[in-house]
Amino acid sequence: MDDHSCLAYTEILTDEKKETAAGFWERANAYFASLGITVRQALTDNGACYRSHAFRDALGSR
């Protein structure tokens, strides 16, 4: 969710694996970027998929 506009991006996914979380981030970030929104910070819970190297690498690719 973009904090300024309150615009949300969501998907229903089948699992909580690191590859799934990383892919979701990449699609969400691309969606916001297509609207001219630059994501500066991501807030997640402490789930294993968000602590993974795959998710960290996806965050770094923005």
Q: What is the pLDDT of residue 43?
A: 87
pLDDT of residue 3: 72
| Tens of pLDDT, residues 2-58 | 677 788 999 999 999 999 999 999 999 999 999 999 988 888 898 999 999 999 999
Indicate the burial class of 22 (C-beta count within 10 angstroms; 0-12, 13-18, 19 or more).
Answer: buried
Q: Could you list the residue range(s) of the whole structural domain that residue 30 is in?
A: 1-62
- Cβ 41 vs Cβ 6: under 8 Å: no
Structural domain tally of the chain?
1
- Please tell me the pTM assigned to this model: 0.85
